[in-house]
Amino acid sequence: MNTLPIMIAGAACAGFLQGLTGFGFSMVSLSFWAWVLDPLLAATLAVFGGWVGQMLAAFAVPRKANWRSVLPFVLGGLAGVPLGLRVLSHLDPLLFKAFLGILLAVWCPIMLLAPSLPRLSVGGRGADGCVGIVGGAMGAMGGFSGVIPTLWCTLRGFDRDTQRGVIQNFNLTMLTVTLATYCATGVITRDMLPNFAMVAPIVLVTSLLGGRVYVGVSDATFRRMVLGTLTASGIAMLVASLPKLL
């Protein structure tokens, strides 16, 4: 199978949607790439593409962060990165698809329901740090650093600016640390560099387009469309992988 069109399509869709919503690069890109790429290459590309998009957002859509809110997430995330790296080196392709399918099929519907769920006020910064550990581990496994923290911030009832400030700075920090760790531990090899060179400009262009389109699109409507599509993709991955695993 020619993987190039699927790689380009995954990078373009993920870059556009991240530019539009500010999150979700790994989930969108891996819903394409998990079908055709080795899990290690797919996870590494997802981390790199998410980092490129977050770097662009840091300059194009700067958010002033309340570091008293961000710091517990970041400290927890730094502790979680080594855990995710351990799991990454043992990922099996079928398990990888099943994990991603479960993540999409469970997390996306929860995010659709999250605004109507009860607000959480327990745990304080200690709970925020624990959520950061999970985010850091999932970030090292494939760039999913923002999945659980985004849900947590929504359940906490953070206002839009506070949540965007926390998630944007947390994601950028975790993805930067993860990429640096990938380089230091040899996860990123020379053979991967041409893939990075192909993905980077696609992500930059489509993220900018997504940011432009965001101005004229209803956030609530688009959010439902994206999460609904990702839920369907997750279910498709489960259907494809679980029978073989079982």
pLDDT digits (tens, 9 = 90+) for 36-91: 888 889 989 999 999 998 888 777 665 566 777 789 999 999 999 998 888 877 77
> What pLDDT digit, counting tens, does each position of 191-228 carry?
999 999 999 999 999 988 887 776 666 666 766 776 77
Q: Which positions ≥6 away from 72 have C-beta within 8 Å? A: 125, 126, 128, 129, 132
Task: Give the helix/strand (H/E) hosting 141.
Answer: helix 124-142
Higher pLDDT, 1 or 67: 67
- Summary mean pLDDT of the chain: 83
Give the span between the Cα atoms of 74 and 177, in whole angstroms. Answer: 11
**Burial class of residue 183, CB neighbours in 10 A (0-12, 13-18, 19+):** exposed
Model pLDDT, residue 193: 94
Domain, as residue range, for 224:
4-245
> What letter represents residue 20's amino acid?
L
CA distance 158 to 185: 36
Q: How far apart are CA 186 and CA 132, in angstroms?
A: 25
Spatial separation of the C-alpha atoms in residues 223 and 20, rounded to whole Å: 10
> Dihedral of CA 217/219/221/222: which sign?
positive
Q: What are the CA-CA distances from residue 196 to residues 5, 11, 114, 163, 171 (Å)?
A: 15, 11, 35, 29, 19
CB neighbours of residue 198 within 10 Å: 14
End-to-end CA distance of the chain: 26
Residue predicted with more confidence, 49 or 151: 49
Token code pair at residue 31: 């819903």
Q: How far is Cα 150 from Cα 18, in angstroms, rounded to an integer?
A: 14
CA torsion sign, 5 to 10 to 13 to 16? negative
Can you list the alpha helix ranges (DSSP code H) found in the chain? 4-21, 25-33, 39-60, 67-88, 93-113, 124-142, 147-156, 160-185, 193-214, 219-245
DSSP conformation class of 118: P
- Please state, in angstroms and rounded to a whole number, the distance separating the CA atoms of residues 128 and 199: 33
Rg of the Cα atoms in the chain? 17
pLDDT at 89: 75
Assess whether pLDDT exceeds 80 at residue 188.
yes
Q: Please give the tally of structural domains in the chain.
A: 1
